[in-house]
Amino acid sequence: MERKTFNPQDWLNQPTPQPKVTEQQTFNTDSQIDEVERIIQSIEANRTDITSSYSNWVNIGFAFADEFGEKGRNLFHRVSQFYPDYSATECDKQFDNCLKSKGHGVSLKTFFYLAKDAGIDIAPPRTEKQDKHTFKSEKLKDSQTDHRQPEKQEPEEMPTFPDSLFPELPEFLQKVVAVATSNEERDILLLGSIGAISACLPKVSGIYDGKRVFANLFLFITAQASAGKGRLVHCRQLVNPVHKELREQAKLHKQHYELEMAEYNAKKGKEEGIEKPAKPPEKMLFIPANNSSTGAYQLLGDSDGRGLIFETEGDTLAHAFKSDYGNYSDGFRKAFHHETISYYRRTDREFVDIESPCLSTVLSGTPKQVSALIPNAENGLFSRFIFYFMNVRPVWKNVFASQTDNGLDDYFEALGNEFYELYKVIMQDEPRQFYLTADQQEQFNQFFGQIQEKYLNLQGLDYMATIRRLGLIAFRISMIFSALRIMETGDTSKKLICEERDFQAALEMVKVLVKHSSKVFGELPQEESKPSRMNKKEKFLYALPYNFNRQKYLEVANTLNIPAKTAEGYITAFAKSGMVHRESQDNYINTSLEDIQDSKDAEDV
């Protein structure tokens, strides 16, 4: 059978980057190498990185390995070399893995798609016989396709954590994310795991702004339906053994109570002065979100003021807050800062104080479910949450690819048992206090001072609470990383001093998370009495390229329907706050992009 030669131009208008290739659609390998070589030469000439996303890099490796075998190794190196953290050794290792997994199903169409998406002209050279009018029409079409409209690009693509972050994480978290099949999945497994674990470190604390704080985090993963946020549920398995232990304790207390009640009933009326036994506490880790306010507080109090709300449908908590009997949002907000929660218990006719409550929360849901829980941007709940807005990838996922032998449930159950051993060690030992070094404290203050100045300029005073609480969140993330290091070091000292790699990892995460929070913040309803939060101003900043001049920023302003005078005012404000640097006359640098260049999606931002 004659093999058809692949023409990239024939593929330009196909809707998906990875359609299945049938036997009749296979291509001549020699011609394909010529096409790939021509496009790689263009990539090299423009020094373009098309591997900025980890999943893109891996897929290119699969495509080259499947199509060219060992001959594809050099091509893979040539394409990978423009990634800022390119390593020849790491590149070889990845290609070896791709060769071993031959038949993964990723075709060269993915490579052509990614090259075109990065602005590389993948169309084959045209002959003199081609119609000039057609040529001009196609050039116009290409320019319209390749021209990235800033107002569409910014909301569609959110940055993910940089690849360089993950090798620096505690070994336990590296195991958690090892089964991820995309950048977004890797990120939510990391965030979901530290969110769940944050509820299980009651004997680890530190001093922040003069107050003792524990590791507890509030997390909300948001995305459209079927975006992949369902993976979050496996993070619950990491702490399930802790919940089981608390339920066993409650069961024993109940059995003892029933024996005491039987004895009390037998003696009641026969002996004087017999005191009725008190009901035992209902100890548990997972506190149901669908609860009355009294019920939620009582379960939290019964578990020594500690608990975890873990719900994969964020509107479950929202519905509870909207009901008269279930509105415990006030106590929910107080728990974030360990402020005393007071409530009235009708059964015993008494007021109860939960001192220093330690509540963690892991939620997921659609953007509409976020606004259902947090009705407007001024609501105090917003700034207490870590938000992560997942990108939707319109590519069919290989549902049979798995890096585990017996499925993810068994894999995470084993990890849960591993974490449970650390939990027992921490609970048996004396309380540990977490510290940042003097140098880390200085870096911390400088880092968040700069972020606060930047976002005050972009989002105004309403966003200040988010920035300030992100500081506390970064401190808590560092604390969790340091606690997990005990699994590696076996350190039993009461002082838990943050390692530099854990401190830097927390800051790297915040660089990305602040952008996700800003996106969710900009999409929340706003009280009519409040002025605009200037989302268009933020879009304008991120639509500017790294290097630009007045003509360029006016072009960008025009695409966003921003008047020239307004754009000039924005540039002046950006320069004053350090987000834009005036290199020379009519020559600017968008320094706001520098803090995300290590992120795999820096180009898209």
Instruction: Report the SS3 class of residue 548.
Output: strand
Write down the residue that tokens 């900043």 correspond to. 541
* Closest alpha carbon to 427 in 249, 573, 162: 249
- Where is pLDDT greater, at 150 or 351? 351
Q: How far is CA 383 from each of CA 377, 380, 473, 521, rounded to the nearest angstrom? A: 9, 6, 10, 9
SS3 388: strand
295 vs 255 pLDDT, higher one: 255
What is the average pLDDT value for the chain, to the nearest integer?
Answer: 80
**In the chain, which residues fall in CATH 3.40.50.300?**
165-265+279-394+403-530
* pLDDT above 80 (res 165): yes
- pLDDT bucket at 600, cuts 50 / 70 / 90: very low
What is the reported pLDDT for 163? 92
Q: Does position 598 have pLDDT exceeding 90, yes or no?
A: no
**Amino acid 28: pLDDT:** 41
Give 375 or 370, the one with higher predicted confidence.
370
Q: What is the mean pLDDT of residues 366-385?
A: 81
Burial pattern 318-340, b for ≥16 Cβ within 10 A else e, equals: bebbeeeebebbebbbbbbebee
Q: Is 50 exceeded by the pLDDT of residue 143? A: no
Q: For residues 62 and 104, is the Cβ–Cβ distance under 8 A?
A: yes
User: pTM for this one?
Assistant: 0.64
Whether pLDDT at 153 is above 80: no
**Average pLDDT over every residue of 511-532:** 73
Q: What are the residue ranges of CATH 1.10.10.10 in the chain?
A: 535-596
DSSP string, 277-335: PPPPP---SB--SS--HHHHHHHHHHTTTEEEEEESSTHHHHHHHHSTTT--HHHHHHH
pLDDT band per the 50, 70, 90 thresholds, residue 477: very high
Mean pLDDT, residues 171-177 taken together: 96
Name 271's bridge partners: 268
Q: Between 135 and 256, name the one with better pLDDT.
A: 256
Q: Give the residue, 173 or 541, on which the prediction is more confident.
A: 173
Mean pLDDT, range 381-407, rounded to an integer:
77
- Say which residue, 398 or 605, is predicted with more confidence: 398
Q: Where are the alpha helices (DSSP H) in 397-499?
A: 408-428, 438-459, 464-484, 486-489
pLDDT digits (tens, 9 = 90+) for 37-66: 889 888 888 888 888 778 788 888 888 888
Residue 381: which pLDDT band, with cuts at 50, 70 and 90?
confident
Out of 142-151, 161-170, 589-598, least confident range: 142-151
Please say if the pLDDT value at position 96 is more than 90. Answer: no
First to last CA, the chain: 46
Q: What per-residue confidence (pLDDT) applies to 113?
A: 82
Q: Which residue has the higher pLDDT, 320 or 251?
A: 251
pLDDT tens for 191-237 read: 999 999 999 999 999 999 999 999 999 999 998 766 567 788 999 99
Residue corresponding to tokens 């190196």? 77
Where is pLDDT greater, at 430 or 579? Answer: 430
Give the confidence band of 310 by pLDDT, cuts at 50, 70, 90. Answer: very high
Question: What per-residue confidence (pLDDT) applies to 154?
Answer: 43
State which amino acid sits at residue 248: E
Query: Alpha-carbon distance 57 to 85, whole Å?
Result: 13
Q: What percent of the chain has pLDDT over 90?
A: 33
Name the range with the highest mean pLDDT among 26-35, 284-293, 468-477: 468-477
- Model confidence at 241, pLDDT cuts 50, 70, 90, reads very high
For residue 394, pLDDT over 50 is answered with yes
pLDDT of residue 599: 42
Among 108, 99, 102, residue whose Cα is nearest residue 26: 108
Among 144-153, 170-179, 491-500, 537-546, the minimum mean pLDDT is found in 144-153
User: How far apart are alpha carbons 599 and 274 in whole angstroms?
Assistant: 68
Mean local confidence (pLDDT), 262-289: 86
The full 3-state SS of 222-239, as one line of letters, equals ECCCCCCHHHHHHHHHCC
Average pLDDT of span 305-316:
87
State yes or no: pLDDT of 128 exceeds 80: no
pLDDT of the residue at 121: 79
Identify the DSSP state of 544: S
Which of the following CATH numbers is that of domain 535-596: 3.20.20.100, 2.40.50.140, 3.50.50.60, 1.10.10.10? 1.10.10.10
Residue 481 — very low, low, confident or very high, per pLDDT cuts 50/70/90? very high
Tell me what the mean pLDDT of segment 360-368 comes to. 89
Q: What is the pLDDT, as a whole number, of residue 403?
A: 64
Predicted confidence (pLDDT) per residue in 323-347, tens digit: 656 577 788 889 999 999 888 776 6
Q: Is 87 a residue whose pLDDT tops 60?
A: yes
Q: Please say whether the structural domain 165-265+279-394+403-530 has been given the CATH code 3.50.50.60.
A: no
